Amino acid sequence: MDLILDGVCKSYPQSRGSLAILDDINFSIHTGQFVALLGSSGSGKSTVMRLVAGLEFPSNGRITFDGLPVGGPGSDRGMVFQKYSLYPWLTAAQNVAFGMELQGLPRLEVRERTAYFLEVVGLRDAGGRLPRELSGGMQQRIAIARALAAQPKLLLLDEPFGALDLQIRESMQEFLYQLWQQTGLSVLLITHDIDEALLLAQQIHVLAPRPGRIVRSLMVDFDHGDMMALRLSTPFLERRQELANGLRQLDGTLT
């Protein structure tokens, strides 16, 4: 798996001229990598994700996935949205099965894989419940299970825990990290949460706003043995402080 963004620009036409959203975005993700795009609102980070998903197209530059230009959405790039995007008329299990059914997998396989991925996200007993009967955190876990069950090569997460309470968000972050370690997935995470990016990603690209551009890229290498302790460890907090200062300066140049 190889995702390469090469000089990607995105602008929207306006009544006079055009509005630049993204300017010269370059980065790549290889098999098994966990990459985060960190930026405040207006940095165009969600647009990057939509371009990679093939839901929109760059105005300039190239996005290639496994050597082929991205021409539209496909099941090789699974996506989890910030807002709960479960189908409200389907049960949790039916939601997980949704992508596999679209792909025409045999019924028996769909059933087995549904059970497996419900187990993976720890919601085996919630399979028969409707989304509205699930908490926010459970809904996002089902959304992740649904994306995983469709066998993507790359998982795109657009602020997946942004709408959750702090405590649930922390446990979901730990869940996601373990999931990544178990499955060897390739992940692109979009977030404005510095902790989240530092805690989960191996590589972080910091986006500056208006137009969105990568101003800094850094590698992260913490010991994830105890994530609760990691959140409070000095090296983590120092890194966090430094990143926070950087982001504040980026916003400061605006106002």
Partner 1 sequence: MTSLGTFSGRGRRHLLVHPWSLGLLGILLVFGLWATISSLGVVDQLFLPSPAAVFLAGQEQLAQGQLVADLVASIRRVFGGFALSALVAIPLGIAMGANTTLCRLLEPLLGILRYMPAPAFIPLLIIYFGVDELPKILLIFIGTLFFNTLMIMDAVKFVPSELIETALTLGGKRADLLTRVIAPYIIPQALDAFRVNMAAAWNLVIVAELVAAEDGLGKRISLAQRFLRTDQIFLGLIVIGIIGLLIDLGFRMLMRRRCSWAQ
Which residues of this protein are in contact with partner 1, per CB under 8 A? 53-55, 72-75, 77-79, 81, 83, 85, 87-89, 98-99, 102-103, 130-132, 146-147, 150, 156
Q: How far is the CB of 226 from partner 1 (least distance, A)?
A: 34
Residue number, 16 or 132, with CB nearest to partner 1: 132
d(CA 102, CA 157): 21
Residue number, 83 or 224, with CB nearest to partner 1: 83
For residue 244, what are the CA distances in angstroms to 44, 63, 192, 239? 18, 30, 11, 9
Q: How far is the CB of 138 from partner 1 (least distance, A)?
A: 16
Q: How far is the CB of 129 from partner 1 (least distance, A)?
A: 11
Please name the residues in contact with 119: beta carbons below 8 A apart, sequence gap of 6 or more: none
Residue number, 45 or 213, with CB nearest to partner 1: 45
Residue number, 77 or 213, with CB nearest to partner 1: 77
Alpha helix (H) residue ranges in 44-165: 45-53, 92-102, 107-120, 136-149
Question: Nearest 10 degrees: CA dihedral of 145, 149, 152, 158?
Answer: -20
Q: How far is the CB of 149 from partner 1 (least distance, A)?
A: 9
- Are residues 111 and 63 in contact, defined by beta-carbon separation less than 8 angstroms? no
